[in-house]
Amino acid sequence: MRTLRRGAQQVKHRAFVVWRRLPLSQRVIRANDARWRRHFANRPYVYDPAQHAHTFLAEPPPAEGGPSELPRVIWCVWTGDNPLTENRERGLASLRDRHVGTDVRVRLVTPTDLDQWLVEGHPLHPAYGFLSLNHRSDYLRAYLMHHHGGGYSDIKPTPRSWADSFDLLAAHPERWALGYPELSSSLCAQLPGAYGRLVKHHFPLFIGNSAFIYRSHTPVTASWLAALERDLDAAAEQLRAHPGGTWGRTPGYPLRWGQLMADIGQPLQLKYHGRFLQDARMQPAFVDYR
């Protein structure tokens, strides 16, 4: 008994040492994250339209545009003309290896074959070619999830097959999407002011941005793609004048890092909260992937 108690004390002490070595800002974030996790673990979430009346969430969703489907495919995208790095090659191989012997297919979309996945009557937005490579990826995951459905994964090492995750979503036809739980408020949408804080506080309800599965042609995918394309309409002139390059860090580039992904997708997860499932098994590795 003493040995067990001493071992527990040692583990607790090591955790405390690790905690103290974190920068103060990280300790504050982790403490706040823990508080909001406890909050939502004990209280069911209810969407309040009044809190979002000044945002795009107040608009009715556009028509979905077709039957909703859930193909057992995982889409990956590589939007540049440069070859995959060694780490990305390993990440893609990991994803493919995990699905050998399953009925889940892994498809890599690149500039050379992108045209074959475009839907008739729904071309890429005219500003697509001026987007940074990471924002092209954000755009394509919205386009693919809405028009085709299935899974999307960043090209990162994958610890296990998604076959069971596809089964889980298929078993819940009332749910439209599934993904790993968002890891921290620090990874959330960077929206301004009180509204930005409101969204961040709800991070325990969200699925992460790096790996997920969506049914096609649902109100959430239709709203996601429509909101994204409205942002591109508004920024089109500046994008032509200041293309984004690789990372969107060129002077004058008008889009924020998460503007086409988290800033749209996470507020939508609040509006359609009951339509999402969390599955921690889908979380990819976040080290040494570039």
Average pLDDT over residues 46-72: 95
pLDDT in tens, 225-284: 999 999 999 999 999 999 999 999 999 999 999 999 999 999 999 999 999 999 999 999
Strand partners, 150: 214
Q: Over the chain, what is the mean pLDDT?
A: 92
pLDDT at position 84 is 94
What is the total residue count of the chain? 290
| pLDDT in the model for residue 13 | 44
| pLDDT recorded at residue 287 | 77
How far is it, in rounded angstroms, from Cα 77 to Cα 154?
8
Q: Which residues pair with 73 in a beta bridge?
A: 105
Using a 10 angstrom Cβ sphere, with 0-12 exposed, 13-18 middle and 19 or more buried, the burial of residue 140 is: buried
Report yes or no: 225 and 125 within 8 Å, Cβ to Cβ.
no
**Averaged pLDDT, 41-61:** 95
pTM comes to: 0.90
pLDDT of 155: 96
Digit-coded pLDDT (tens) for 96-120: 999 999 999 999 999 999 999 999 9
**C-alpha–C-alpha distance, residues 101 and 152, integer Å:** 19
CA-wise closest residue to 109 among 139, 86, 67, 87:
139
Amino acid symbol at 104: V
- Distance of alpha carbon 107 from alpha carbon 37, whole angstroms: 35
Name the strand (E) or helix (H) holding 48: none
Could you tell me which residues come within 8 angstroms of residue 24 by beta carbon, excluding any fewer than 6 positions away?
Answer: none
Across the range 177-202, mean pLDDT stands at 95
Percent of the chain with pLDDT over 70: 91
Would you kindly state where each structural domain of the chain is located, as residue ranges?
22-282
Confidence of residue 16 (pLDDT cuts 50, 70, 90): very low
